[in-house]
A and B are shown apart, each in its own frame.
Chain A
Amino acid sequence: MIENTTNIIQMIAVGLCAATGFWNGHVSRKKTWVLLGFMALVFFLGDLYWQLYLISYGRTPYYSHIPYYSWYASYIFLLLLIQALREGRPNCKSRFVLIVPLFTIGMTLFYMQWGDYVSNIISGFLMTFLLLNGIDGLIYVYSSKYSDAAYGTAGERSAGLFYIAVMMSCIAEYGSWTSSCIWTGDTLSNPYFWFDMLLSISILIMPAALRKAVGV
């Protein structure tokens, strides 16, 4: 029951995000909005497939990973969106980002005890790139070292909230994956549902954050 509720809340959140993205993309003709629309649409399709399957057959998909392809695709669109936002800006040189691959490789090895190898490796790769880009973006926006830098764009300088939303979504994904390995049960005491809600909130924040960065 709670899984259905959180899934439906998440579908509403990503549906709103997709509608906002495509509408603003249609109005402004900006690639960043279209990519946000695609990111949310693909996520929505994955959620919809999962939910329909669950309602129709009372179990989760077993023989293939169709919804996972969608969720991977949404990460890819998010990465493309970040690249579009950066407009070719070189990386900030920070040793702090070295922690990311250590974390993601460790977590991938941990998840491999439960899930299959291929999907965990794909998730690990995509999350590594998302976290690297998210942390790099936050350093660029908030570090005084780069405030007078010649490179970068005014849009990206206002993208602090967007990068916070990206980081929130990554944390929520890792939190929900880890919870599903350790906890079971369809009650609110399972942290999985709370991380799922955090993911929905982070996706809801993205249109407002992108508006602040690139306008409409």
Chain B
Amino acid sequence: MNYIENIFVCLVAPLLVAVPCSRGRGRRMIIFFLSGMLACLLSSYISTFLAAVRGADIFSASVEIAPFVEEVIKLFPVAFFLLVFEPKAKEAADNAIMTAVGFATFENVCFMVENSTGDILHLAIRGFSTGAMHVVCALFIIVAIYKLWDTDWLRATGFLALIAVTITYHGIYNILVSQKGIVAAVGYAVPVITAAIVLAVFKKRNNQIYGN
């Protein structure tokens, strides 16, 4: 049995020390990285609870319950920042990415603790793939922030719609990687390819967004 809260404490301790020692954008990045890890911890608890309540087995929990819970919880830090601090779109986009990276990092650490660290190839594939999947989901949210932020009603409805996209995308990824052989390989490749396509197609716009 894994005590993921113990792993969480161990991982966040240096980051918590770093928060008061840093300033400005760097501090905000650390805080959002931390909040991504916290979101992962909470998602784990809530998914386990819902699976137990609904009598779902481990597989059903991972492909049906976890995507919904994880994507919704992962959105909370960014939504809080957007609604309370009303930042510029660029800052909000960076923070969405950092939350996703924090989430994926903690998830990968828990996976390693549970499944040993012997197979570097599998760990590398999984690490890149899970990281890319969470970042792609964050990119969907960034689209909402940039493209649908002009009016209140568009903001609300567009955000809801894009959360649905991230939940389904995550669910498809979990179904594919839960299989064996070529199907799992396709599953691992999908987020990396999606991230590459999104970055290639929108590189010009991305440069405009980030002011490069």
User: Is the Cβ of B157 less than 8 Å from the Cβ of A79?
Assistant: yes
Tell me, rounded to whole Å, the shortest Cβ–Cβ distance linking A117 to chain B. Answer: 17
User: Is the Cβ of B168 less than 8 Å from the Cβ of A67?
Assistant: yes
Chain A CB within 10 Å — which of B60, B163, B178 has the most? Answer: B60
The 19 listed contacts between A and B (C-beta, < 8 Å) are: A34-B147, A42-B161, A42-B168, A45-B169, A46-B168, A53-B63, A63-B56, A64-B65, A64-B68, A66-B67, A66-B68, A67-B168, A69-B163, A70-B164, A73-B165, A76-B157, A76-B160, A76-B161, A80-B161
Q: How far is the CA of A26 from the CA of B169 in the complex (A)?
A: 22
Which B residues contact A (CB, under 8 angstroms)?
A: 51, 54, 56, 60-61, 63-65, 67-68, 147, 154, 157-158, 160-165, 167-169, 171-172, 175-176, 178-179, 201
Q: DSSP majority for the B interface?
A: helix
Tell me, rounded to whole Å, the shortest Cβ–Cβ distance linking B59 to chain A. Answer: 8
Q: How far is the CA of A52 from the CA of B187 in the complex (A)?
A: 11
A34 CB contacts on chain B under 8 angstroms: 147
A199 CB contacts on chain B under 8 angstroms: none
B67 CB contacts on chain A under 8 angstroms: 66
A45 CB contacts on chain B under 8 angstroms: 165, 168-169, 172
B164 CB contacts on chain A under 8 angstroms: 42, 69-70, 72-73
The answer to the question of A33 belonging to the interface, with a C-beta cut-off of 8 Å to chain B, is no
Tell me, rounded to whole Å, the shortest Cβ–Cβ distance linking A62 to chain B. Answer: 7
The answer to the question of A171 belonging to the interface, with a C-beta cut-off of 8 Å to chain B, is no
User: Is the Cβ of A66 less than 8 Å from the Cβ of B64?
Assistant: yes
The answer to the question of A106 belonging to the interface, with a C-beta cut-off of 8 Å to chain B, is no
Specify which of A48, A61, A72 is in contact with B64 (CB 8 Å cutoff).
Answer: A61
Q: How far is the CA of A74 from the CA of B160 in the complex (A)?
A: 11
Q: How far is the CA of A72 from the CA of B164 in the complex (A)?
A: 8
The answer to the question of A162 belonging to the interface, with a C-beta cut-off of 8 Å to chain B, is no
Per-position 1/0 for A171-206, Cβ under 8 A of B = 000000000000000000000000000000000000
The answer to the question of A41 belonging to the interface, with a C-beta cut-off of 8 Å to chain B, is yes
Tell me, rounded to whole Å, the shortest Cβ–Cβ distance linking B46 to chain A. Answer: 13
A48 and B172 contact, Cβ closer than 8 Å, known pairs A66-B67, A76-B157: yes
Tell me, rounded to whole Å, the shortest Cβ–Cβ distance linking A57 to chain B. Answer: 8
A80 CB contacts on chain B under 8 angstroms: 154, 157-158, 161
A41 and B165 contact, Cβ closer than 8 Å, known pairs A53-B63, A62-B60: yes
Q: How far is the CA of A62 from the CA of B59 in the complex (A)?
A: 12
Q: How far is the CA of A63 from the CA of B176 in the complex (A)?
A: 18
User: Is the Cβ of B175 less than 8 Å from the Cβ of A56?
Assistant: yes
